[in-house]
Structures are given as structure tokens and as C-alpha cells.
Structure 1
Amino acid sequence: MHRLLRDFAYYGRVAKELIFPRRCAVCATNIDNGYVCEQCRREYLLQRQLPCCPREEYLAGQAAPLPTDVLYSALLLYKYEGVFKDALHKIKFEGEAGWLPLLREEAELALPAAKMRWLQQFDLITCVPTAPERRRQRGFDVPQGLFAGLLEGRSVGMEVLLERVRHTEPLYELKPEERKQELAG
């Protein structure tokens, strides 16, 4: 049922774009794909790779692993602010899955051919998992909805490897320090 509703929302959006052309979410310029125009995209785009390096204590078996011990790197595509933050809020908290295709297109636009080749060096890509109760409420998983399509037909796969060990409150309206406190442990 959720898939049918999701597909209906997507095709409804396509029909709407035939009648009302797609516009940049920031400046309202007509656009052919994505969520924002090329100029506004540059304002939000990060494309920052954060390398992670295992600690000597972990490698020697003398310490429990930290995320930086077991991950090779993290890739940040966009700043989490403005229209991107708003669209993710609509997807996550208002159940508006129709926004997923637009943000999926943005992810594709943020990963030019060189970055897609860069992704091929990895055996596996993972994401921060959605809480099971939130996934059930929404009927879909946000990271899978945004990024799994990017990896179709490629040698690298996407799997959820991380596990939530406790329930957390939504972080959307929390300040950075409050987020850190909510995620501690």
C-alpha cells in the first residue's frame, strides 16, 4: 500500500511538472532536474570527504572501536540547512515521500562521474539507520530512498551495518549541542 501511494505521489508530481514547470526551491528559476538550480546548488554543495583513521589502540586490540576506527570515510554532499533541511523534514516528519525523487536527483547531480568512479573503490556503503518504528510509520527508509538508486548496476552495494542501540528524539529542531547530548552513548 505504501509503495502504491509513493508511486502515485511520484507520478502526480510528474504530471504537475508538465502543467507547472519545475522551479528552483530557492530562487524560483525554471529548472529541468533536481531541486535547485545550478547557481543555488553551488551555495549548498559541500562534496566534502571526511577521512576516518583507525586509532593504534583499536588496531592493537586494546580499545573498543569508535566510528572513525571502522569507517574509511564519510561523504557530505550538501549543507543541512535551508531548503534541503526543509525538504528532509517534510519527508521524515510529514511522510511526504514525493520529495524523495527530487532529492535523489540532487544526489546524482552532486556526484559527477569522477565521484561515481570514486565510489567504485568501496565494497560497501552504509548509512545511519532509520529507527525501526519511524520506518514503519513512514513506510519507507529515507537513506535507502535517497541513495540506493545511485548504486544500481554498480559493483558497490548499500547495506545497513550500524545498529541503533536506543531510541532518540527527532533532532530536527535541536541546536548542535543539544543534538550531541541526545546522541551521547
Structure 2
Amino acid sequence: MAKKLTLIALLVGLVVVCIYASVTVRRGFSTRDSPSTVEAFVAQRTRDMAIPAKARRMNNPVSASPEVYADARAHFADHCAQCHANNGGGDTPIGRNLYPKPPDMRLAQTQNMSDGELYYTIQYGIRMSGMPAFGEPVDNDQDTWKLVTFIRHLPKLSEQEETEMQHLNPKTPDEIQEEKDEENFLKGDANSATPATTMHHH
């Protein structure tokens, strides 16, 4: 009986792989597309199987507090928001072009995960996705637990908190250059003179 069940499972797996291959060949490999139903199912099952049962049962040792939220907001804005957005919705230039795209962490797909599942996902990442491993390679990283606490808070994130996070987001090269140009202009750098001023000296 066990051999028969194993054979059936293998056949089902083979059918899934064949369907996936067929869909992929027709649709191509562009990351701009949304995952098919089969791909979404496979990705979900892969993530579920990648998290050990022991990790699922882990309890968050960090309690919610203004200090914890402040630390986690700064960490999230600096390390996570480029893909997930400050509000956790995932609507960013990088997030929109990942495959699969980041989930909206305010919704049930993420909020229904256990604290241990969230911790393990952040700490160790998910293979074959855009989610890398963050945090120190230790069993009980407090910064990661703070992020778990903050993720629970995302559905209630206020406009004031989101605005505060915008000031903590990493600056792009263009923004850095713009700040340098403004600073040079305010210092009276000759290189920042306007064309009109330069022509006047001539």
C-alpha cells in the first residue's frame, strides 16, 4: 500500500512539473508576468516545506512597545523597504520586478503565518526567490524578532510612521549627487555657477 501511495505521489508530482513546463514555455521567462496558479502553488508549498516544524512553534520573546516599534521601523526602512515598501505592500520598483513578487505583508497570506515562520523566513531567507537571509546567523536574533513584531503592526501603520520611515530609506545615487550639488552651490563652489553667471564674467 505504501509503495502504491508513493507511486501516486510521484505521478502527481510529474504531472505538476509537466504542466509547469508547458505553461512556462508558452509564457516565457519574463519576471514582469504574474506567477501562474501552478507556480504560486509550487512556491507556497516550497516555502512551507522549507520551514522546519520546530521553527513554526517558536514564540516571539519581544513584546510590542514604542521603543521596539521605533527600532524595527528604522531597520525595516533601511533593509526591507526597497522590496517590500515602507507599508509592507510591496509596490516598489524592485518589488514589482521580482519573481515571484513580494507579498502584501498586511494581508492574510503573511499575517496568518506563525511568529516562528516569519522569524525563520527573515533569518534564513527562501531559496529560489528574491528573499535573502537577513540577521546574524544565531538562533535567537533580537533584531529579527523586532521585525516580526513590526510586521504584525503593518496593517495598523499610521501615516506619521510611514512618513518617518521615508526619511530613513537609503538614498539613491541620484539623490546623493543632488545633495552634493546643492551643498556645493550653497558653499559658492565655482563649478556650481549657472551658465548665465559664467557668461557675465566673460
TM-score over 0.5 for the pair = no
* Structure in which a larger fraction of residues adopt strand: 1
Q: Normalised by the shorter chain, which TM-score bucket? A: under 0.3
Over alpha carbons, which structure has the higher Rg? 2
Normalising to structure 1: TM-score of the pair?
0.22
* Structure in which a larger fraction of residues adopt helix: 2
